[in-house]
Chains A and B, each alone.
Chain A
Amino acid sequence: MTIAVVKPGFLTTFQDAGRAGLAHLGVGRAGAFDEPALRIANALCGNPGNAAALEITLRGPTLHFHAQTWIAVTGAPIPVNIDDTDQPMWAPLAVPAGARIALGAVRSGCRSYLAVRGGFDVAPVLGSRSTDVNARLGPFNGRALQSGDELPTPRSEPAKLDRTAPPWRVDPRPWFAGAGQERLRLMPGTHVDRLAKTSNKLLFSRDFHVHPDSNRVGLRLTGPRLEWETLGEMVSEGCVPGLLQLPPSGQPIAFGPECPVSGGYPRIGQIAAVDMPRLAQLRPGDALRFSPCTFEDALRMLRERERALATLENTIRHRLNGTLES
């Protein structure tokens, strides 16, 4: 069975938990930028959290469903329309055979996620179904969706949503911060002590803005020019998503999931993993500020988030069981 792409949207790609363990071959992780949103969308479809879903950027696709199934949309607020009827996000949505689903423009934030019951059945590349546009890896040769693409979904479909059951949805508030000035917590980077004193102050006291030339590789930030006190020549070293590096321009770059596995610019800091979904939801022009954070605090917050997410996934699983036709 397939789902036909009528309109692809601005940049729509397959994303799962990403490609692990291939950094030594120069292959990066990719994967969903807003990982909790992916996991919740999957949970709402009764899928494992790491199943492949669509990551939608700024403007959503229009899809034609040949067969009956159900879907869920999470992440940045976006209009969801099934056969000319508006539908809620963060909820399991029944899709009749032949339905046309139109997702509009993202209202605030940047990235939404559409999961389908059973996940997308595209062939994994190097162990993942994630599209890495920058490295040209993944389903459809690593490109974004185009009109006319047929997206494969699993054949067997025993469970159906009970359309007479009362509707319910997940409270999105803990999982989407909403518009406004974001505060991202930053762990100290290897070279942060070598920032000029004034630059160190500016880093944590001034607004930065997201430059239009930003994508899943990284967000270019504009703001006060940051300068190094002393810094020798650097050679390429390992990089990971969330890294805040400072090129000679004095304007930092925050790495996203498609970042290179190595790079030669000095490291100011590392955005706490729990704040990566906030980074994912910043769009060009949005403002952000950094606040300092320790590795211990970042780890504690990550453990707390993982617990909350696991609890939510369990709750969804139970509710879903009560919403299925027997």
Chain B
Amino acid sequence: MTADFSIEPLAEDAMLLRFGEGIDPATNARVHAAARALRDARLPGVIDVAPAYATLLLRFDPLTWSSDGAQAPHERLFMAAKKLLIEATAEFAGAGTSVTPRAVDIPVCYGGEFGPDLDAVAAQARIAPDEVVARHVGAEYSVAMLGFAPGFPYLLGLDPTLHLPRRATPRTRVAAGSVAIGGAQTGIYPRELPGGWHLLGRTPLTLFDPNREQPCSLAPGDRVRFRAIDAVEFARLADHGA
């Protein structure tokens, strides 16, 4: 049912395709499937295909999608996208397969100077700090979207006991690699940034580097698992230039 969506024009050269409301893994999976199909189709004049939780941003050249008729470029692109996604849905159903998402393993050193909020989170959740770590590494997450800053992944799948309101006062500096939780989500700060989430630990991996051929280690739709490492392993991996 990938092709069931509505259109919300944003600008002369941009619109949202809406697949639902709120933060819902099934809706988000449909957004990613549609994003994949639209990217693969390489529609002419389409510049951005950017998924969020329940919507997909399309940015396009309005002149490519203009006509002499009364129909707006948004409508024409919407119809083209709809046709394409109906075909793609039928094709998936016919083949009986779906795309297997990429799985990414993220090593994290929890607690201490790496995760200054671990104890406070444990106290708020009324479980031991080790149990917070166990629950954080025990879940499989999906990258709902990248945003806030280049390469910042919003991950769905956080254990409900760890759903906490954000910090009352955001930090002005959060260290690069910090793994944090906020509300129903977990995320990773790719670089030093301000932030209001609770810091559980830090990964030695560089998630965003504009000079790499693939600047982002994670892409929307990826599956993510965290793996607990100690400070020695953190230092080793950091030296490795991971």
Contact = CB atoms under 8 A, between A and B. Distances in A.
A187 interface: yes
A270 B15 CA distance: 11
Interface in B123-137: none
A137 B209 CA distance: 10
A25 interface: yes
Interface residues of B, number: 47
A238 interface: yes
A24 interface: yes
Given A242-B11, A299-B72, 5 more contacts: A237-B55, A240-B11, A262-B145, A299-B66, A299-B73
B47 A21 contact: yes
25 contacts: A20-B59, A23-B50, A24-B35, A24-B220, A25-B146, A26-B149, A125-B210, A126-B215, A135-B149, A136-B191, A187-B9, A233-B22, A235-B53, A238-B14, A238-B16, A260-B148, A261-B147, A262-B52, A262-B57, A262-B147, A267-B10, A295-B12, A295-B72, A295-B74, A299-B66
Interface string A10-50: 00000000001111111100000000000000000000000
Contacts of A233: 22
Given A24-B220, A303-B63, A235 B54 contact: yes
Given A21-B47, A24-B50, A235-B23, A270 B10 contact: yes
Contact of B150 (A25, A232, A296): A25
A205 B128 CA distance: 57
A26 B50 CA distance: 9
B107 interface: no
Contact of B52 (A21, A136, A236): A236
Interface residues of A, number: 38
Interface of A: 20-27, 125-126, 135-137, 187, 190, 232-233, 235-238, 240, 242-243, 260-262, 267, 270, 272-273, 295-296, 298-299, 302-303, 306
Given A23-B48, A235-B52, A302-B62, A260 B12 contact: no
A302 B14 CA distance: 14
B226 interface: no
A240 B50 contact: no
Nearest to B191: A136
B164 interface: no
Contacts of B56: 238
Contacts of A296: 72
B123 to A, nearest CB: 27
B50 A238 contact: yes
Contacts of A306: 63
